[in-house]
Structure 1
């Protein structure tokens, strides 16, 4: 009788132990929920789509490839889609299609802060997380904005570089922008105007702002037209990779080379020959591959429930380290970097 009772007790204890081990194993396999430190695990198989302002634009090719690398790192499924030309409403149909395809994360650079809001909010209602990068929408239309640099930081470096290139005598300058509705371009231009009111830039005078619509040939002809319209022009700022390369191409083959200074936002591979031949002394940018990489990780963290997009949320973005969500659900990549003849050979993008 005692032996039988002991055996029953031993079997009961064994069963309890097995249950405890099984419970512990389940706890280890279950990702932790969201927390202030960005705890949790990235879901595998997330469908993450990049929607640039336009495909086949060298800048967005680089940024989207950065996103692709990140998505592959955390086991997601990457796609890229978008219009061949920038226009306010061109992205709407692509957003609708991605929503119908049950895309988990849409990473978009907005051609217009308002035009795509309706489509984005419908996609969010269908379950997609929306991350804007490079060019934002209204904050009500997305979950996070990945900011390549602050508008103030970009404005400061652009005005500083054109001032240094022109020299102490100053003179007339103009801006060659992308599209008239581009959120980021307009924010930078307003901040550049504010920067120009500082005493140290009193000798610089902004005389015109024109738009190349992020098209190479239009940007080229707009540069030509600016110089015809303003014969005393001393410098051009083009805060767009397409525009600055087109302007440099025009200046390098004209009598204005060395007389009219140019700076802007460009990639080293686009601008290398123009820096070497003296057309451009310096220009700035962030690493667009890192921008896309960060946007992908942010989207993955959102879709996995690791963060919600509230201020103070933290998450890790692979090789780039930890980031914190700031005000208005914004994540900042960092400060712009200046490229010159002394360092441009160190970069390849």
Structure 2
């Protein structure tokens, strides 16, 4: 599979500039086609919307980028009120009390990356009944529990990219590989892992053997220890895939300071600023990601479009997300950001996030 880069690369460059120079005010899309079945023919976003991001955990570099450097500038563009709140640990039920509080406070838009697709459904349904619009991003819930899902990339595209990257890194001889994931209940992680297994069953990857899947719970120290444990248990391991920004950074730190550097290949999903030194010292040959700032930016505009009546969550509806342009809702209220982008030593210095 060739990883397509055109659109995501363009938005990533825009975001890198924005993160360096500060977000610039953009057109809020007041001329947007309102789409079908909505009550706002002008397509104008309401001013003063209360928009709160509820990530899997706060003080996580990935969500700091998506929320504070993507969502916040977007909310400021359409003159809303931005906030971020959430648990310090990414446990299945940790987000429930925050959802209940936001509902009681009359929050217009709750944008959540679900730690567990089932644990938060009841409280999200109650928040919807109270008038909040619910947008999931990064990790989805069941469709009936929210109004829209902003998908960073298709699960199939992410899985295909991860297997292609580890195959290229390991080389034609193949060998044993392992997966270092986030939490065992993370909806997106589990979907990617199952599709990676499907991808590994293809003839072109017959020399790769998945021997283990471990979980670092999106905690740096635990992810570091899990990476260390993999090499202790599987001394012939040739590669690790870590489809989580916390996990890949921790694994890279471990490998770079060990005798396994250059011998055990590492790829996954990470940010350029986290992995720059490890790409340059050869620990990581290549990794992938969408632009998290763009993800948060799009999630904010999706929520605002819902709360303003521009869209209702039906397939085929269209709205404009500021500088990112026009988007169309797919089945089950899904909004797709784009394809994964591959970062290597040849391009990583072009990005700053």
Partners in 1 of 2:305 and 2:343 — Cα distance? 32
Q: TM-score scaled to structure 2, two decimals?
A: 0.89
1:119 maps onto 2:123 in alignment: yes
What's the C-alpha RMSD, in Å, of the aligned pairs? 1.4
2:35 aligned residue: 35
The alignment partner of 1:205 has SS state of strand
Distance 1:114 1:79 in 2: 24
Q: Which runs of 5+ in 1 are unaligned?
A: 1-29
Deviations 1:294-346 (A, max 9, x none): 00000000000000010000000000000000011100000000000000000
Q: Does the 8 A contact of 1:67 with 1:293 survive in 2?
A: yes
**What pairs up with 1:1-349 in 2 under 5 angstroms?**
34-36=34-36, 39-65=42-68, 66-349=70-353
Q: 1-side partners of 2:311 and 2:128: how far apart?
A: 16
Matches of 1:42 and 1:248 in 2, distance apart?
A: 43
Matched position secondary structure for 1:173: strand
Change (3 A) 1:203 1:142: same
CA contact (8 A) 1:33 1:305 kept: no
Unaligned runs of 5+ in 2: 1-29
Secondary structure of the residue aligned to 2:327 is strand
Q: Relative contact order (alpha carbons < 8 A, sep ≥ 6): 1 or 2 greater?
A: 2
CA drift of 1:40 comes to 1.8
* SS of structure 1 residue aligned to 2:83: strand
CA contact (8 A) 2:33 2:319 kept: no
Deviation above 3 Å: which 4+ runs of structure 1? 30-39
TM-score by length of 1: 0.90
Q: Is the 8 A contact 2:165 2:286 kept in 1?
A: yes
> Is the Cα contact below 8 Å between 2:34 and 2:318 reproduced in 1?
no
8 Å CA contact 1:147, 1:333 repeated in 2? yes
For residue 201 of structure 1, report the CA deviation from its aligned partner: 0.3
CA distance in 2, matches of 1:103, 1:31: 26
Q: How many residues align?
A: 320
